[in-house]
């Protein structure tokens, strides 16, 4: 790919993006140790197929600590007495902290795009989706089918200007970043013992989880 073409396709972060703190959650110790050693790396997708396959070369982060905690728990069970079926083998959850000044190329998480369409907010995105998606695709998104949120998001992002992409990030979309990111910190908690202590909005996460220098 020519350099100019690559630059034209990039959504460059702004000062306000650089100033934010971002999070990445995982429920698995092997993945957490790899991140501590190598950083958050784009997954190998050569054999991967399906609507929920991540976008090639992207790693996924968020400014919403609650969303990262859902991934660290392997489910949206924050603050409940739920016991996950994998928690015996994977007792700990991990949330990584990423400095915004590391960002290079960002776009909205495709799942977020689909969810925003289904919520009809922002209105311009809803209208854009209604125009560019097939009737079948649009109806499945509006029916709340998660895999179609991702499918529609991927399709529409390829047609979207950088300004529109950044508008969606400003509206609360989670973020897909091109390339590796090296976290500055990791927080660890015990799923079975600590989850019940978390508030539903995860606002007390840093009072419960413990910062670790190594895993």
**pLDDT per position in the chain (215 positions), as tens?**
444 444 445 689 999 999 999 999 999 999 999 999 999 999 876 555 555 566 889 999 999 999 999 999 999 999 999 999 999 999 999 999 999 999 999 999 999 999 999 999 999 999 999 999 999 999 999 999 899 999 999 999 999 999 999 999 999 999 999 999 999 999 999 999 999 999 999 999 999 999 998 87
Check residue 4 and give its pLDDT: 43
Within 10 angstroms of residue 38's Cβ, the number of other Cβ atoms is: 10
190 Cβ neighbours under 8 A, 6+ residues apart: 91, 92, 93
* Segment holding 93, helix H or strand E: strand 92-99
| DSSP letter assigned to residue 136 | H
What is the residue whose two structure tokens read 């100019």? 4
Report CA-CA distances (Å) from 138 to 116, 123, 165: 12, 15, 19
- pTM (2 d.p.): 0.91
Query: In whole angstroms, what is the distance from residue 180 CA to residue 158 CA?
Result: 21
Nearest Cα to Cα of residue 159 among 119, 179, 135, 129 = 129
Query: In whole angstroms, what is the distance from residue 128 CA to residue 8 CA?
Result: 22
Q: What is the pLDDT of residues 155-169, one digit of tens each?
A: 999 999 999 999 999
Residue-range domain boundaries for the chain: 12-108+179-215, 110-173
**Helix segments in the chain, DSSP class H:** 3-9, 15-18, 29-38, 65-73, 110-118, 123-132, 135-142, 146-157, 162-170, 191-194, 205-208
Check residue 2 and give its pLDDT: 45
Task: Note whether 51 and 148 are within 8 A (CB).
Answer: yes
């Amino acid at each position: 790919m020519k350099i100019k073409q690559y630059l034209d396709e990039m959504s460059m972060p702004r000062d306000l993006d650089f100033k934010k703190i971002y999070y990445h959650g995982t429920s698995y110790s092997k993945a957490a140790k790899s991140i501590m050693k190598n950083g958050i790396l784009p997954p190998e997708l050569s054999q991967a197929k399906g609507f929920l396959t991540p976008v090639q070369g992207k790693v996924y982060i968020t400014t919403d600590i609650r969303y990262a905690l859902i991934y660290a728990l392997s489910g949206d069970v924050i603050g409940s007495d739920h016991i996950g079926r994998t928690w015996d083998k994977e007792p700990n959850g991990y949330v990584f902290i990423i400095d915004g000044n590391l960002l290079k190329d960002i776009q909205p998480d495709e799942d977020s795009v689909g969810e925003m369409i289904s919520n009809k907010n922002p209105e311009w995105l809803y209208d854009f989706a209604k125009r560019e998606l097939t009737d079948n695709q649009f109806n499945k998104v509006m029916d709340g089918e998660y895999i179609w949120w991702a499918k529609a998001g991927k399709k529409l992002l390829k047609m979207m200007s950088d300004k529109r992409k950044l508008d969606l990030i400003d509206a609360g979309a989670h973020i897909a970043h091109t390339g590796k990111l090296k976290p500055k910190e990791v927080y660890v908690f015990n799923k079975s013992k600590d989850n019940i202590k978390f508030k539903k909005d995860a606002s007390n996460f840093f009072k419960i989880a413990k910062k670790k220098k190594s895993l």
